[in-house]
Amino acid sequence: MIARSIFIAGKVQGVWFRDWTIQAANAIGVSGWVRNRADSSVEVYAVGEADQVERLIDRLREGSPASRVDSIDVQEAELHPVDGFVRRSTA
């Protein structure tokens, strides 16, 4: 199991990006959370097997149909037990 903090910039708020991320994570089998950030980016905390997390990162690079992903920053993160994949409040 690995954990990654992922920061996505571009047109990613107000375009169904968080709900799309939840659906993608659940389909892949990744746990964690997604939230908007005050700087108009989106943050994702993903926990799962390495190949599952990498698949989610690949999907995040593509983005939801209405979004435009300009950049993505992936960082190793401390592993915290998480059950399911949820939306969190804006940071």
- Domain membership of residue 24 (yes or no) is yes
Contact indicator for 3, 79 with CB cutoff of 8 Å: yes
- Count: domains in the chain: 1
DSSP code of residue 39 = T
- What mean pLDDT do residues 46-61 have? 98
- Domain membership of residue 11 (yes or no) is yes
- Domain membership of residue 53 (yes or no) is yes
pTM for the whole structure: 0.96
- Domain membership of residue 89 (yes or no) is no
- Domain membership of residue 27 (yes or no) is yes
The residue count of the chain comes to 91
The question of whether 18 is a catalytic residue gets the answer yes
**Catalytic residue (one of 4, 36, 55, 59):** 36
- How does pLDDT run across 19-38, given as a tens digit for each residue? 999 999 999 999 999 999 99
- Domain membership of residue 33 (yes or no) is yes
Closest CA to 67 of 9, 26, 23: 9
Q: Which domain holds residue 42?
A: 2-81
- Domain membership of residue 87 (yes or no) is no
- How does pLDDT run across 64-78, given as a tens digit for each residue? 999 999 999 999 999
- Domain membership of residue 86 (yes or no) is no
How far, rounded to the nearest angstrom, does the alpha carbon of residue 46 sit from its chain's CA centroid?
Answer: 7
pLDDT at 81 over 90: no
Contact indicator for 87, 32 with CB cutoff of 8 Å: no
pLDDT at 8 over 90: yes
